[in-house]
Amino acid sequence: MQDQFRALLIDRDDEKKQSVQVANISPDQLPDGDVTVRVAASTLNYKDALAITGASPVVRSFPMVPGIDLAGTVDQSSNPAFAPGDRVVLNGWGVGEKHWGGLAEYARLNGDWLIPLESAFTFEQAMSIGTAGYTAMLCIMALERHGVTPESGEVLVTGAAGGVGSIAVAILAGLGYQVAAATGRAEEADYLTGLGAARIVPRADFTEPGKPLAKEQWAGAIDVVGGQMLANVCAGVKYRGTVAACGLAGGMDFPASVAPFILRGVTLAGVDSVMCPVDERREAWRRLARDLDPAVLEPVTTTAALDDCPGLADDLIAGTIRGRIVVPISAD
């Protein structure tokens, strides 16, 4: 390991004023953990942007290295499950919030948080997928568990031009589903149809309070927005359909009625990617290796340098970023 390495560091002074800079870090500053990873690539996610901008109290202790995703090579390990040279990936587990994360050249971690990286993916492809794509696959697996198949009917994806939505659209289309992509950005229509969306639905159709029960349209849905949009999505789901909810970009409230659940037997399946058990994580990544064409990742991905992350965080919060932001850290 190098004597010093670069990391994006969030800190706060005695007056609780937050600062963000790319700093030189020494290995003895790394937190406790039984595996040290040389990070090949990380990402800039919505949660990372909240941490960097301070728009939400995501960071639990200071200083903090953000980055809820990382992929790289084990450098040192006292964990019997991993040896130096192993290719690994990490998503969630409070990394970048409570424990230093992936936007640094090295990360020291609890080995129980790591899983082997599928051989189908390079490090940067793994980060093009990242928590967003892994969450999208968890949502698809939830729909499948509740009996939603391509033959069941159309599946709606909200926030479709974002990270989770883009990957969800691509995977669902590849599996043979008819996908309706909901977005507030009309200019992204060609992008979404290129990913496989059968039609584009304006986000404005869902933003105002609607009836407790609307016309039955969707066999299933993946929602990253929450709030009023989720309430309206549930109201329009077909009898015994399922909504996989994984996000709150539109708010934490849920101004709905019980009507879809007790009159149509609709299931609202919550999907958490942060503390998801390891076996389910491994299955999600196996499914990604099988069901996601890596060629789909190129139009979904923007590459950025570590130094660019603070500025891009503002754009991500503003909702002007398409798809995924990958941050290469070191050579494979």
Supply the CATH number for residue 99's domain.
3.90.180.10
The CATH number linked to 174 is: 3.40.50.720
Collapse the DSSP code of 227 into the 3-class scheme (helix H, G, I; strand E, B; otherwise coil) and give the result.
Answer: helix
Q: β-pairing, 35-43 with 69-77? A: antiparallel
Is residue 296's pLDDT more than 60?
yes
* 182 and 250 together in one domain: yes
* Model pLDDT, residue 49: 94
Is there a single domain that holds both residue 180 and residue 252?
yes
CA pair distance 87, 38, nearest whole angstrom: 10
In a domain, 45, yes or no: yes
How many structural domains compose the chain? 2
Instruction: Quote the CA–CA distance of 39 and 70 in Å, as a whole number.
Output: 7
Q: What angle do CA 46, 47, 48 make, to 5 degrees?
A: 90
Within-domain flag for 290: no
Largest CA distance in the chain: 63
> Which residues, other chains included, contact 297 with Cβ-Cβ below 8 Å and sequence gap of 6+?
125, 128, 129, 324
* pLDDT for residue 323: 79
End-to-end CA separation in angstroms for the chain:
15
Q: Is residue 280 part of a domain?
A: no
Residue 291 resides in a domain: no
- Give the residue numbers spanning the domain of 81: 5-117+297-328
pLDDT band (50, 70, 90) for residue 203: very high
- 187 — pLDDT class (breaks 50, 70, 90): very high
Per-residue model confidence (pLDDT) at position 16: 85
pTM value is 0.91
Rounded alpha-carbon distances, angstroms, from residue 200 to 38, 124, 155, 225, 229:
41, 29, 12, 16, 16
Mean pLDDT check: name the lowest of 48-57, 145-154, 197-206, 229-238.
48-57
- pLDDT value of residue 14: 86
The reply to whether 47 and 101 lie within a common domain is yes
Query: How confident is the model over 176-187, as a mean pLDDT?
Result: 95
The answer on 63 and 20 residing in a single domain is yes
Residue 180 pLDDT grade (very low, low, confident, very high; cuts 50, 70, 90): very high
Do 68 and 142 lie in one domain? The reply is: no
Same domain, 97 and 218: no
What is the structure's pLDDT at 331?
62
Strand intervals (E) in 158-308: 179-183, 199-202, 218-223, 237-245, 267-270, 301-303
The amino acid present at 207, given as its one-letter code, is T
